[in-house]
């Protein structure tokens, strides 16, 4: 992730307006959260009209994805595995995400993940990104009341972020080189317990 304020440029040209908006968005999303940050406030910080956010990004969600520099939207893949069918969801989720993480875009995402952890504002953006762009797509389909669903989602995050960390960052063998179908078979039962199992 590029540090907020590190890409300040001259104002006026479209490219500069876009950059100003990204810098302001990173600051606001990190400090106020996605819901707390307003399109109007970000535009004011950037010194441009709020209409410029729609013009350059198409809206607040797209501005957020651009601010985090996400190489892809994980929500798109999560939606593609039909999270409304919770039986067998863990295996479909891992079977879909492993090839993405092993692709060039996935390598960029892993790099983003590593660099995001290094600074507090990066952690804040990363937390919101995981919650809003990945977990939120699943959470509504999980069993239990709101508290239980949120707990299940954070347990899911503990296994999935740990898998990314162990396989792609620390590269601990033999998990780092295991073929996709073996990783799915090893980890899906644990992930499925977090999704739908009986929790204490």
Binding site for a second copy (CB under 8 A): 114-115, 117-118, 123, 126-127, 130-131, 147, 150-151, 153-155, 157-163, 165-167, 169-176, 178, 182, 185-187, 189-190, 193-194, 199-200
In order, the DSSP letters of 9-42 are --SSSHHHHHHHHHHHHHHHHHHHHHHHS-HHHH
Nearer to a second copy, 59 or 162 (CB): 162
Tokens of 166: 């162990």
Q: C-beta of 65: minimal distance to a second copy in Å?
A: 18
Task: Choose between 83 and 122: whose C-beta lies nearer to a second copy.
Answer: 122
CB of 146 to a second copy, least distance (A): 10
What values do phi and psi take at 166, rounded to 5? -75, -40
Task: Please give the helix or strand (H or E) that residue 149 lies within, else none.
Answer: helix 146-164
Closer to a second copy at the Cβ: 38 or 182?
A: 182
**Cis ω for the linkage preceding 188 (within 30 of 0):** no
Nearer residue to a second copy within complex by CB, 17 or 124: 124
**Cα 184 to chain centroid, rounded:** 21
The distance of closest approach from Cβ of residue 163 to a second copy in the complex, given in angstroms and rounded to an integer, is 5
Helix axes 14-36, 120-129, angle to 10 degrees: 70
Smallest distance, a second copy to C-beta of residue 166, A: 4
Nearest distance, CB of residue 47 and a second copy, angstroms: 32
Using the minimum distance from each CB to a second copy, give the nearer residue, 54 or 190: 190
Peptide bond into 174 cis (omega under 30): yes
């Amino acid at each position: 992730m590029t540090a907020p304020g590190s890409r300040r440029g001259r104002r006026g040209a479209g490219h500069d307006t876009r950059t100003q908006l990204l810098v302001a968005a990173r600051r606001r999303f990190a400090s106020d959260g996605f819901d707390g940050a307003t399109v109007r406030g970000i535009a004011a910080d950037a010194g441009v009209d709020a209409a410029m956010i729609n013009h350059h990004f198409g809206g607040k969600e797209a501005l957020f994805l651009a601010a985090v520099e996400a190489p892809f939207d994980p929500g798109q893949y999560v939606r593609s595995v039909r999270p409304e069918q919770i039986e067998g969801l863990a295996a479909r989720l891992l079977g879909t995400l492993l090839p993405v993480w092993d692709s060039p875009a996935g390598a960029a995402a892993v790099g983003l993940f590593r660099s995001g952890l290094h600074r507090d504002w990066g952690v804040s953006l990363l937390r919101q990104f995981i919650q809003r762009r990945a977990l939120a797509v699943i959470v509504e389909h999980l069993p239990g009341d709101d508290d239980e669903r949120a707990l299940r989602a954070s347990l899911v995050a503990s296994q999935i972020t740990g898998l990314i960390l162990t396989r792609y960052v620390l590269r601990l063998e033999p998990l780092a080189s295991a073929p996709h179908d073996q990783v799915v078979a090893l980890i899906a039962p644990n992930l499925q317990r977090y999704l739908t199992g009986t929790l204490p």
